[in-house]
Structure 1
Amino acid sequence: MSKKKKTIEELLEEALLPEEEQPYEVPENWIWVKFDSVIKTSSNRASAIKQKDYEEQGRIPVIDQGMQLISGYTNNQENEYTGELPVIVFGDHTRFLKWIDFSFAQGADGTKLLKPLKHFYPKYFYYLLKIINLPNKGYSRHFKYLRASVLPIPPLNEQKRIVEKVERLLDKIEEAKQLIEEAKETFELRRAAILDKAFRGELGTNDETEESMTDVVGINKVISTGEALFKIPDNWIVASFNSVISISSGNALTKKNMNENGNIPVFGGNGVTGMHDESNVDDETIVVGRVGFYCGSVHKTPKSAWVTDNAFKVSFSENIFDKMYLYWHLKNLNLNRFSNSSAQPVISGKTLKPVQVLIPPLKEQRRIANKVEVLINKLKAQQQLIQTTIENTERVNQSILSQAFRGELGTNDPSEEKAIELLKEVLQEQVK
């Protein structure tokens, strides 16, 4: 027995959101509808590609729920999406949304294909879905939350005007963001330039009348004076790492031994990795990461800290080195280049032994450290300003989209036919 088709009135009642349930007020010629009444969902598992089968190159791009627009490729024509374009791809686990208007193959894991019903403007719904605030449930599925959402719908021409204005405004913001990102990229170059000048004696702080540290260090430990891998001031000396610096591994300390409520920071190869109740360091210490991704990174602990065995503790004579000078010098040496090339990089004390260390007069070390601190802090302030600007542009993006779907972009024409007439036209297709 065939199922009786619903009347247009019944479909309207199911689709429309009662006035008392509407999240906010929209123009009079708009309507609020339930997600399922205007968007259809598909997910063709038969032709979807598993991640292990992605290829690095191919004729057909693979679209999945990952952060990148295109996650891989395939040459298998049987996997190519044969439905009508464009579609909106939603990541059920990741919550990412993608606008796809080109031939593609669907990734298998957590990929939903969304498309508004005929007569609606698809890209309006793409931008509309981007502002829906879905809860973050980790790697759980999120489509049920999207499906439970309600949507403000304007007349068709207003949908098109909104998209046109939103894209025009977002393009301008994207141009500004690109300029900001380019400026951001220069910061690392400027930071490197500061340190390079500092350890070539080119900061304008050196006093050539000050005696070298040869007698303090011991002439038998000096590799050269005034020469290194590059030209340095005549009253600087060069010594090997192991002759003036000693290192020792930190203590084995697992997360089980840490205490989140402790007040002593635990330093590993990548800086603070947890908290503890008691210290194994009683004074400020320079720490060098010796294992893993942060191998060669340099940090300075505060008084009262713990150092794990993922890092070296650096020891030296204060008659030879100013602590902050040595800290910046070690950062500039890029110690990571002395690690092995295995999948798990490791720096051994042995590989550091022959590394050349620059030793200016002690007063010059302090001047260098102070000037580097001033210059780096100025750079950090500029970086923070850039970061704040980037965050502000993201807020502007959201503000534009929020205004768009409240009818506040100044594009709405009250004289246009009401959106409910458009909805009736769409639903009429279902009762034919």
Structure 2
Amino acid sequence: MFANEKGYPQIRFKGFNDEWVLKQVQEVLTTIKSLKIKKNFESNTKLPLISQKKDFIDSYIKKGNLVEQLPIILFGDHTTILKYLDKYFFVADDGIKLLELSNSFKNFNLKFIYYSVLLNNVSQSGYKRHFLMLKNVFISLTNNINEQTKIAHFFTIIDRKIELIKEQLSLLTKQKQYYLNNMFI
């Protein structure tokens, strides 16, 4: 669904025919300054702690550095892991870049941008800073907000189905282990 070198995607939702453009990540996204993060905030309930690790959530805690600016994209500078976040969370400090739309792209759908960056993400190459490389990556975009929203929604549904299947697999694995433990003497 993302544009090829001729400026048009190979697969498209019906009714959309606008040409797409290539933009560098650094034109579209900007890092969130620490002023938009409440340091050592104490919550009444446990909130997820998000880091650059592969697991989406590290743990749940009541006190930490609260990110209020939502939605955002989290980029693991050492791991190149990308995460889209739209609910309050505490952020682990080490090696994380929090990204928002730059001023000239404020009218774009951030989740659509997330999927475009995800498609074009840089490869992890050892323990080093990767954001400098990501900033120069080109991503393909449509200016049509309706098309952006439709694409973001489509991939969100697929991601949710993947999560449900993983949960099902985890339950089956536990069930199998239970039977193994209890069916043999």
Same fold, TM-score > 0.5, yes or no? yes
Deviation at 1:264, TM superposition (A): 4.2
Q: Does 1:315 align with 2:118?
A: no
Which residues in structure 2 correspond to 1:1-400 (within 5 Å)?
A: 198-200=1-3, 201-205=9-13, 207-209=15-17, 211=18, 235-248=19-32, 263-270=46-53, 271-273=56-58, 275=61, 276=63, 279-291=66-78, 295-307=79-91, 308-316=93-101, 317-319=105-107, 321-335=108-122, 337=123, 339=124, 341-342=125-126, 344-348=127-131, 350-360=132-142, 361-400=144-183
- Aligned partners of 2:168, 2:67: CA distance in 1, in Å? 37
Q: Percent identity?
A: 14
Contact in 1 for aligned 2:75/2:99 (Cα 8 Å)? yes
- Aligned partners of 1:370, 1:287: CA distance in 2, in Å? 19
- Aligned partners of 1:267, 1:240: CA distance in 2, in Å? 26
CA separation of 1:328 and 1:260: change in aligned 2, threshold 3 A: same
- Aligned partners of 1:398, 1:289: CA distance in 2, in Å? 39
Higher relative contact order (CA 8 A, sep 6+): 2
Residue identity opposite 1:281 in structure 2: E
- Aligned partners of 1:324, 1:371: CA distance in 2, in Å? 11
CA separation of 1:358 and 1:249: change in aligned 2, threshold 3 A: same
CA separation of 1:384 and 1:367: change in aligned 2, threshold 3 A: same
- Aligned partners of 2:134, 2:10: CA distance in 1, in Å? 26
- Aligned partners of 1:390, 1:280: CA distance in 2, in Å? 35
Residue identity opposite 1:314 in structure 2: L
Contact in 1 for aligned 2:121/2:134 (Cα 8 Å)? no
Q: What RMSD in Å do the two structures reach over aligned CA positions?
A: 3.1
- Aligned partners of 2:58, 2:164: CA distance in 1, in Å? 25
What CA deviation, in whole Å up to 9, does each residue of 1:17-41 have, x standing for no partner?
xxxxxxxxxxxxxxxxxxxxxxxxx
- Aligned partners of 2:71, 2:87: CA distance in 1, in Å? 5
Scaled by the length of structure 2, the TM-score of the pair is: 0.72
What CA deviation, in whole Å up to 9, does each residue of 1:75-108 have, x standing for no partner?
xxxxxxxxxxxxxxxxxxxxxxxxxxxxxxxxxx
CA separation of 1:244 and 1:278: change in aligned 2, threshold 3 A: closer
Contact in 2 for aligned 1:250/1:310 (Cα 8 Å)? no
- Aligned partners of 1:327, 1:205: CA distance in 2, in Å? 19
Residue identity opposite 2:146 in structure 1: K
Stretches of structure 2 lacking an aligned partner (at least 5 in a row): 4-8
- Aligned partners of 1:205, 1:399: CA distance in 2, in Å? 51
- Aligned partners of 2:169, 2:88: CA distance in 1, in Å? 34
Deviation at 1:312, TM superposition (A): 0.5
Tell me the matched-pair count: 168
Q: Look up the SS of the partner of 1:279 in the other structure.
A: strand
- Aligned partners of 2:64, 2:32: CA distance in 1, in Å? 22
Contact in 2 for aligned 1:264/1:277 (Cα 8 Å)? no
Deviation at 1:248, TM superposition (A): 4.6
Q: Look up the SS of the partner of 2:118 in the other structure.
A: helix
CA separation of 1:398 and 1:259: change in aligned 2, threshold 3 A: farther
